[in-house]
């Protein structure tokens, strides 16, 4: 589709609709303001035929009719409950001025309504057909990305996905058609908007420059936009976008459809009693992908005016939130003076007596009316030490809540977290994210989001029966602070996530209570606001008609129904609990309907459990191929590579874990039914790069480094549709080591693929480039209890909350450590298989790699067992942050371990080849051994000259023997020796072959009643430079002992000698 010029609709192909549907599905999946799972699930039951029929209609010129059919009546949906101060004569005298706080929700609500008038605020949202969403995504694919390309880099939100710009281009790259979803994820741009602004303020203050920082918000933004501007020739010329006749015609159809929706909104507003003047319109609907582009480009005028006329220190816009930092001057002493300064330079701004600032657009703006609301304007006059202190305070408020997104949750600490405190806080402005809102709403919503993320992580990692008391406390906390009349409207779009959480765990009584008390809170609000005004789309109207509350309850029911379908655990037997029967009846479902829809949701990748996880854990079959599916699959140019990945990983599924496909879901021999590839062509949460490498390690990890990297990249692009760095091949060409006076043949041999004299395989190259500093290891002294060993050996891994808390504590310590380690090392048998993704994910987000011992794994024949080390190494070879996960099996058990496994459990060890690989990561060459493997002199000999550091993950009682082995190995391997042992026995340490004896132990930890983490540094370059000498003669200035006899440094490690 890229590069094709359409003359009319007859030029449209099935390929165009393939990519439009692929993007529309993901856009809708992640859009929280709409609920379209059921229509999309139904659509996918015959997707090839549906898209083919849609293509016929579009080629026949029926696009306008399809859009008209797909734009349904606007829906009323709650936004929040505001309070308006009552006049003094209606208050209870002087007592009303005194501060009073009620922890009881009922009394607090009564107090609030006695002293203040509740004003419920609603908005009209869209309800569109699947075809309308597909056409919306099609417009973005064909036309909308051209509008987006005209935006400044200061517009950070709702930007379409693009390839990274080449060096010869401007900052914007080409549109990424194959990626899943139209837009970049929201969180990173928001963090950039906030953190870059704080950094700019901090830098200016450090330079002793007084500054003025402002945060501004466009009030009722989407409801204020007249969509006709999009196709106005004057706007297109101003923006600098050039459209073909077809692109203009398509844009006119989109504009007309949005104008029709706006007109319907206007009619609905009028019917509800809103005063509508001649210029009033209904705005544009949230939920369509076109709207995100259109609303963004409208404010290009604002971006250009601010950047050109004010020359700010910093300016950025996140949708309708503005962050502006200006130089202070002596004649600006108040916000009023500041606005006088701004309006003199930007005539498009006009400030009225109430403090509201209107933005006057050129004539192409039509009836659009944009206002920067005074209540949401915040101004900071900062200079000197006091200004820096305020910035530090603001930054600490933000970090307290947002940092909890990066750490592992702890079951017993849920209600004591910063997120919980933010949620339970009052409306004090001081509790808010002070750079964005003047009230606490944003921080409360963030707090609730962080809490839900935490409990959902616990739901994935822990067994339901192991943490029921903590869940019960969490449900009570939610009812106390969220599902209450004065707070329920602001969190209404998040409450289905709470129901989803309860349903997934089979907590039917709490699940039904969540739904019924949400409805009850809405009834209570209705009773309390019978005589008050309401606000819809920012317009005040009379009293709230019953139909508004009826519509609100119906939409809540619809949201909860979808949450139930998506979260229902299909692998369990339908519950006989009365609460379950009552809930599905409340939501208009039967058990048969629910089971069918839940299975379809999983197979369409719309469920709470991603399809890839369903296939690995719960699936007993895979969906059959649909009629005409091959025609649709052929539209994806990477389909052959995708099929190859699926077929090869399915073949591996009968072997030892980790498996991609559950054994029951693997087709039996002779089964001729073809399996559908649609869940992998149209995923919402595809396999990650880490999973791709994990399921095909021989191709993506252990192969020759350049070939492995390219295979991994090819599979990643086929599976995820994601951009892969264009110069990957050049960057992965083997380096030529600078080895001094060597002949040309030796100097040009590729270092990463040269085997030594023992024909040793090349290092596994994960990330070649060094860190530019010493490498930091996080050495743990971590206790693994006998109970964990016993349960793991019995095939029932210890997944207790106690063990989870213990691991969370050490992982969070690594995340918060200063300096932060590059690797966290955990001892043998310390991590259950089920928790690896959570632990590694949290560490990866902080740039930390994991090297740990994994619990026992049963071999498929059930009578054999083995343990492994897991390495999750951060990796940026694809052009973005990702990771590689590698499993390295322990070849043979320790003697006592072997005996105990056999006598107590009747198990024998599943032998593995004795090859130990060298890993090249962060510029560090290292190897890994598991406990008793350190005693094998063959391994130590093979690592000599190959590694900078040899890491041993241990569960060892014989400290004296291992101490001697570590001391000797540091000298004969001539490398750093890192050992992490079970804290019950201690002696986690880092030893180096230092020349001076008192320098040899970098760190040594033993004893104590608590787990510990110590960050230590190693300097591989200095070690290599001494080892690279032609002669190993000792010098007085040497940091290390001379290399032992027979030592040969590998070509990959050889460098210019010191």
The token pair that represents 973 in the structure block: 């391997």
Spatial neighbors of 31 by CB under 8 A, at least 6 apart, are 287
For residues 920-942, give the mean pLDDT.
Answer: 93
- Judge if 353 and 207 occupy the same domain: yes
- Judge if 697 and 808 occupy the same domain: no
Structural domain includes residue 1037: no
DSSP for 970-1010, written as a single string: IIIIISEEEEE-BTTT--EEEE--BSSGGGSEEEEE---SS
- Judge if 716 and 828 occupy the same domain: no
- Residue 404's pLDDT is 62
Residue 730 has pLDDT above 50, yes or no: no
Pairing of strands 864-875, 849-858: antiparallel
CATH code assigned at 900 = 3.60.110.10
- What's the pLDDT tens digit per position in 959-989? 888 899 999 999 999 999 999 999 999 889 9
Structural domain includes residue 1051: no
Structural domain includes residue 38: yes
Average pLDDT, the chain: 87
- Residue 746's pLDDT is 37
- Residue 445's pLDDT is 66
Give the three-state DSSP class for 737: coil
CA angle, 11 then 15 then 18, to 5°: 130
- Residue 87's pLDDT is 63
Q: CB–CB of 737/1055 below 8 Å?
A: yes
Give the end of a domain, one of 381, 406, 426.
381
Rounded distance between C-alpha atoms, residue 41 and residue 55, angstroms: 20
Rounded distance between C-alpha atoms, residue 552 and residue 79, angstroms: 10
- Residue 829's pLDDT is 96
Structural domain includes residue 113: no
Which residue segment(s) compose the domain that 233 sits in? 9-73+128-381
- Judge if 228 and 187 occupy the same domain: yes
Phi, psi (deg, nearest 5) at residue 318: -115, 95
Q: CB–CB of 949/1018 below 8 Å?
A: yes
What number of other Cβ atoms are within 10 A of residue 833's Cβ?
18
- Judge if 350 and 221 occupy the same domain: yes
Structural domain includes residue 239: yes
- Judge if 699 and 817 occupy the same domain: no
Which residue(s) pair with 317 in the sheet? Answer: 155, 322
Q: Is the peptide bond before 726 cis (omega within 30 degrees of 0)?
A: no
- What's the pLDDT tens digit per position in 946-961? 999 999 999 998 888 8
- Judge if 685 and 778 occupy the same domain: no
pTM listed for this prediction = 0.90
> Domain tally for the chain?
3
Q: CB–CB of 136/288 below 8 Å?
A: yes
Structural domain includes residue 818: yes
For residues 254-278, give the mean pLDDT.
Answer: 90
Residue 743 has pLDDT above 50, yes or no: no
H-helix or E-strand spanning residue 764: strand 764-767
Report CA torsion sign: 904, 910, 916, 919.
Answer: negative
The token pair that represents 301 in the structure block: 């005028």
Rounded distance between C-alpha atoms, residue 814 and residue 4, angstroms: 51
Rounded distance between C-alpha atoms, residue 590 and residue 215, angstroms: 50
Q: CB–CB of 857/868 below 8 Å?
A: yes
Structural domain includes residue 463: no
- Judge if 818 and 706 occupy the same domain: no
Rounded distance between C-alpha atoms, residue 987 and residue 1005, angstroms: 5
Q: CB–CB of 48/629 below 8 Å?
A: yes
Rounded distance between C-alpha atoms, residue 487 and residue 931, angstroms: 55
For residues 353-365, give the mean pLDDT.
Answer: 91
Lowest mean pLDDT among 468-472, 513-517, 911-915: 911-915
Rounded distance between C-alpha atoms, residue 518 and residue 823, angstroms: 46
The DSSP code for 429 is G
For residues 399-411, give the mean pLDDT.
Answer: 71
Q: CB–CB of 486/120 below 8 Å?
A: no
What is the band of 860 on the pLDDT scale with cuts at 50, 70, 90? low
Q: CB–CB of 445/386 below 8 Å?
A: no
Rounded distance between C-alpha atoms, residue 514 and residue 508, angstroms: 10
- Judge if 720 and 864 occupy the same domain: no
- Judge if 257 and 350 occupy the same domain: yes
- Judge if 38 and 182 occupy the same domain: yes
What number of other Cβ atoms are within 10 A of residue 2's Cβ?
11
Residue 988: C-alpha distances to residues 275, 344, 858, 965, 1029 (Å)? 74, 67, 28, 13, 32
- Judge if 277 and 357 occupy the same domain: yes
Structural domain includes residue 777: yes
Spatial neighbors of 877 by CB under 8 A, at least 6 apart, are 709, 712, 713, 725, 728, 731, 732, 766, 767
């Amino acid at each position: 589709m890229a590069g094709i010029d359409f003359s009319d609709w007859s030029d449209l192909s099935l390929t165009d609709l393939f990519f439009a549907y692929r993007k529309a599905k993901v856009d809708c999946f992640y859009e929280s303001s709409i609920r379209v799972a059921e229509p999309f699930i139904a659509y996918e039951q015959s997707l090839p035929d549906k898209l083919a029929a849609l293509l016929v209609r579009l080629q026949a010129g029926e696009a306008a009719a399809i859009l008209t059919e797909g734009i349904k009546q606007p829906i009323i949906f709650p936004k929040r409950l505001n309070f308006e101060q009552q006049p003094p004569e209606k208050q209870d005298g002087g007592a009303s001025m005194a501060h009073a706080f009620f922890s009881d929700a009922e009394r607090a609500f009564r107090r609030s309504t006695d002293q203040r008038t509740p004003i419920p605020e609603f908005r009209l949202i869209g309800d569109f057909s699947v075809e309308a969403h597909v056409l919306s995504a099609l417009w973005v694919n064909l036309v909308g990305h051209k509008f987006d390309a005209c935006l400044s880099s200061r517009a950070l939100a709702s930007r379409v996905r693009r390839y990274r710009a080449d060096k010869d281009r401007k900052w914007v790259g080409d549109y990424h058609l194959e990626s899943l979803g139209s837009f970049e994820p929201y969180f990173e741009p928001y963090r950039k908007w906030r953190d870059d602004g704080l950094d700019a303020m901090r830098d200016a203050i450090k330079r002793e420059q007084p500054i003025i920082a402002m945060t501004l918000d466009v009030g009722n933004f989407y409801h204020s936009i007249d969509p006709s501007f999009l196709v106005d020739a004057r706007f297109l010329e101003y923006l600098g976008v050039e459209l073909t006749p077809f692109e203009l015609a398509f844009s006119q159809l989109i504009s007309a459809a949005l104008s029709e929706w706006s007109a319907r909104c206007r009619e609905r507003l009028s019917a509800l009693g809103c005063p509508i003047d001649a210029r009033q319109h209904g705005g544009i609907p949230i939920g369509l992908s076109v709207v995100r582009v259109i609303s963004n480009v409208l404010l290009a005028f604002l971006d250009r005016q601010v950047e050109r006329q004010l020359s700010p220190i910093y300016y950025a816009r996140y949708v309708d939130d503005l962050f502006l930092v200006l130089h202070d001057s002596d004649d600006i002493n108040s916000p009023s003076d500041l606005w006088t300064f701004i309006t003199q330079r930007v005539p498009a701004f006009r400030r009225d007596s109430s403090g509201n600032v209107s933005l006057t657009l050129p004539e192409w703006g039509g009836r659009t009316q944009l206002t920067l609301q005074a209540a949401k304007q915040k101004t900071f006059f900062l200079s000197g030490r006091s200004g820096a202190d305020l910035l530090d305070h603001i930054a600490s408020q933000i970090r307290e809540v947002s940092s909890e997104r990066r750490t592992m949750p702890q079951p017993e600490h849920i209600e004591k977290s910063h997120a919980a405190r933010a949620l339970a806080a009052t409306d004090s402005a001081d509790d808010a994210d002070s750079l964005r809102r003047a009230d606490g709403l944003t921080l409360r919503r963030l707090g609730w989001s962080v809490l839900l993320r935490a409990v959902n992580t616990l739901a994935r990692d822990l067994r339901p029966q192991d943490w029921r008391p903590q869940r019960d406390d969490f449900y009570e906390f939610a009812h106390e602070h969220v599902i209450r009349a004065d707070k329920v409207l602001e969190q209404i779009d998040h409450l289905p996530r709470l129901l989803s959480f309860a349903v997934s765990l089979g907590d039917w009584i709490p699940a039904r209570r969540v739904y019924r008390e949400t409805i009850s809170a809405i009834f209570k609000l209705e009773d309390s606001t019978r005589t008050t005004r309401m606000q819809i789309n920012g317009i005040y109207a009379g009293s709230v008609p019953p139909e508004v509350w009826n519509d609100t309850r119906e939409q809540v029911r619809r949201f909860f129904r979808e949450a139930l379908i998506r979260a229902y655990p299909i692998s369990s037997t339908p519950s006989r609990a009365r609460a379950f029967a009552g809930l599905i009846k409340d939501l208009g479902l039967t058990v048969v309907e629910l089971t069918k829809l839940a299975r379809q949701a999983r197979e369409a990748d719309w469920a709470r459990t991603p399809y890839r996880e369903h296939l690995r854990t719960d699936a007993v079959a895979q969906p059959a191929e649909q009629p005409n599916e091959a025609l649709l699959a052929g539209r994806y140019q990477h389909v052959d590579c995708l099929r190859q990945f699926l077929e090869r990983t399915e073949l591996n599924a009968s072997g030892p874990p980790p498996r991609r496909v559950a054994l029951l879901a693997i087709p039996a021999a002779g089964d001729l039914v073809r399996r559908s590839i649609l869940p992998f062509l149209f995923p919402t949460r595809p396999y990650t790069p880490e999973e791709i490498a994990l399921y095909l390690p021989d191709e993506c990890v252990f192969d020759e480094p350049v070939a492995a990297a390219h295979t991994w990249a090819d599979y990643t692009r086929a599976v995820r549709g994601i951009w892969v760095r264009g110069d990957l091949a050049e960057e992965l060409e083997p380096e030529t080591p600078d080895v001094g006076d060597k002949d040309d043949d030796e100097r040009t041999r590729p270092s990463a693929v040269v085997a030594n004299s023992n024909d040793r395989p090349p290092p596994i190259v994960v990330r070649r480039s060094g860190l530019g500093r010493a490498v930091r290891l996080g050495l743990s002294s971590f206790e693994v209890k006998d109970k964990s060993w016993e349960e793991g050996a019995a095939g029932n891994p210890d997944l207790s909350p106690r063990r989870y808390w213990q691991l969370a504590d050490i992982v969070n310590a690594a995340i918060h450590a200063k300096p932060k380690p590059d690797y966290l090392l955990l001892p043998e048998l310390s991590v259950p298989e089920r928790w690896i993704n959570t632990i590694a994910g949290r560490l990866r987000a902080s740039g930390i790699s994991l090297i740990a011992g994994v619990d026992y794994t049963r071999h498929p024949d059930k009578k054999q067992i083995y343990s492994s080390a897991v390495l999750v190494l951060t990796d940026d070879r694809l052009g973005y942050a990702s990771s590689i996960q590698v499993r390295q099996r322990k070849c043979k058990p320790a003697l006592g371990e072997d005996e105990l496994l056999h006598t107590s459990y009747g198990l024998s060890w599943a032998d593995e080849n004795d090859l130990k690989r060298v890993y090249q990561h962060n510029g560090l060459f290292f190897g890994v051994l598991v406990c008793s493997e350190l005693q094998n002199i063959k391994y130590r000999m093979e690592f000599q000259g190959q590694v900078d550091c040899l890491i041993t993950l241990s569960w060892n009682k014989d400290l004296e023997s291992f101490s001697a082995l570590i001391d000797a190995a540091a000298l004969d391997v001539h490398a750093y020796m890192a050992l992490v042992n079970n804290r019950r026995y201690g002696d986690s340490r880092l030893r180096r072959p230092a020349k001076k004896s008192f320098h040899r132990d970098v760190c040594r930890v033993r004893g104590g009643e608590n787990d510990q983490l110590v960050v230590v540094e190693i300097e591989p370059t200095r070690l290599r430079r001494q080892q690279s000498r032609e002669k190993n003669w000792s010098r007085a200035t040497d940091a290390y002992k001379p290399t032992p006899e027979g030592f040969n440094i590998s070509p990959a490690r050889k460098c210019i000698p010191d």
